Amino acid sequence: MWSCQHVLFICTVLNCVSGAASLIHVFGYEGKEVKISCPYIKGYESYEKYLCKNGCGYSDVLITTLQRNTSKYLIYDDTKKTIITVTICDLRSRDAGKYWFGVSRSGKDLYTEVKLEVKKDRCCDTVSKIQSIEEGLVSISCPYDSEYVNNLKYICRGNRPSTCLQQAVITSDTKQNGQFRLTDDRKSSIFTVTISSLTLRDSGSYLCGVQRKVGLDVFSAVELEVKGEKS
């Protein structure tokens, strides 16, 4: 619909979970944006809505539907669907915490609590190292939790979770892409990516990813070293 102007290329809509309508839990990556949507009850279409932090006193209001969008906060009130959406741009770890969506009205305002978690956009603390030789073949094993057996699996180069799916070299939907092949052993909850016709340029970091419907995708990291035949 619209996006943070300075992050045009990375406007991924991150996952948002609306719980029992009273708590919305959202996740975002540092440096990226997060979109927080909150449904409200019909009848409040013309009321002012806002996002606030901390105690939600006058100075805690971050943006309201009566203000212009800023470079940090964008607000959009979809009065047809009765959903208010705020995008927070260029996430920092200090943006993590508790927020409230409010609807201004006489008497007590209506509030919905939002919990925002901000994760570092790199992965992971543990990295498995594997080696192979030029022109050879290597299999990268990516174990996953059995609850994700039906989820999309993928692998990308580098170590940035936020763009991994977009830049995946292979996914469980494609299964074969040039030198990459993905097989999924659903019984043992391990998917394997085989890279054939290895060249020295295939050396480097890879992330195994599993897509989640709720929350951020889960990743494990692999470092591949392809050795030249002569070395």
Ligand X SMILES: *[C@@H]1O[C@H](CO)[C@@H](O)[C@H](O)[C@H]1NC(C)=O
74 near ligand X (CB under 6 A): yes
Spatial contact of 114 and 38, defined as CB atoms under 8 Å apart: yes
Piece of 54-62, 70-78, 105-113, 153-161 that binds ligand X (CB under 6 A): 70-78
36 near ligand X (CB under 6 A): no
56 near ligand X (CB under 6 A): no
87 near ligand X (CB under 6 A): no
CA dist list (Å): 214 to 42, 52, 68, 94: 26, 24, 31, 23
Which positions from 2 to 21 touch ligand X by CB under 6 A, shown as an x/- string? x-------------------
Spatial contact of 207 and 193, defined as CB atoms under 8 Å apart: no
Three-class secondary structure of residue 61 per DSSP: strand
d(CA 49, CA 221): 42
Piece of 62-70, 78-86, 102-110, 114-122 that binds ligand X (CB under 6 A): 62-70
Q: Which of 68, 69, 208, 60 is nearest to 128 (CA)?
A: 208
Q: Which of 42, 68, 108, 129 contacts ligand X by CB under 6 A? A: 68
Piece of 27-35, 72-80, 151-159, 185-193 that binds ligand X (CB under 6 A): 72-80
User: Which residues pair with residue 227 across a beta bridge?
Assistant: 133
**Binding interface with ligand X (CB under 6 A):** 2, 65, 67-69, 74-76
